[in-house]
Amino acid sequence: MTIPPDATIAFGADHGGLILKDRLAEELRKAGRPVLDLGTHATASVDYPDYAHAVAQAVLDGRAAAGILVCGSGIGMSITANRHAGIRCALVHDVTTARLCRQHNNANILALGERVIGWEVALEAMTVFLSTAFEGGRHARRLSRIDIGRIDVIDDEEGIN
């Protein structure tokens, strides 16, 4: 299932991702999609985890169907968001990884790095992320192993089971 075109998308960024966040959110607004902008709204230095947690919580509590996080590299945002059970935040750098994170991983938050991705690639990645469906099947079985308390991994002569 794709993310419905009338579903709200939550945005969050630190000072290093403010410009890209604002531009991407504006593109969605122009297309008529509801946007929940959780900040930041200024160029003053802020702590990225605050915004990653806010977007993750908005997705988890249903205020948004998906989220977009932007910081300088996207790394800190993705690490922070993925601390929440039920969040699958993917840091992407191109359209292919944006498509695959939805098809194979059912990612519900997209992370981008303003300092490492160009505007056109970021826009296309967001568009593909929001319009790509999760394939299910063998991927659903794998996803079911993410949000469990403990995973037993056996490392034997045949490899990891």
- Please enumerate in sequence order all residues whose Cβ is within 8 A of that of 22, keeping only pairs 6 or more positions apart, or say none: 13
Please, what is the Cα angle at 128 between 122 and 130, to 5 degrees?
100
101 is catalytic: no
Tell me whether residue 104 is one of the annotated catalytic residues. yes
Catalytic residue among 15, 53, 104, 139: 104
Residues 108-122: what's their mean pLDDT?
Answer: 98
CA atoms within 13 A on the CB side of 98: 20
Report the top-level CATH class of 9-160. alpha beta
Cα→Cα distances 104→114, 129, 141, Å: 25, 12, 11
Q: Inform me whether the pLDDT recorded for 150 exceeds 70.
A: no
Confidence category of residue 125, pLDDT binned at 50, 70, 90: very high
- pTM given for the model: 0.91
Mean pLDDT of 3-7: 95
Rounded Cα gap, residues 77 and 89, in angstroms: 9
Tokens linked to 76: 């800190």
Stretch 99-121: mean pLDDT, rounded?
97
Binned at pLDDT 50, 70 and 90, residue 145 comes out as: confident
Residues in contact with 45: Cβ distance below 8 Å, sequence separation at least 6, in sequence order: 15
The one catalytic residue among 71, 84, 89, 101? 71
- What are the domain boundaries of the chain? 9-160
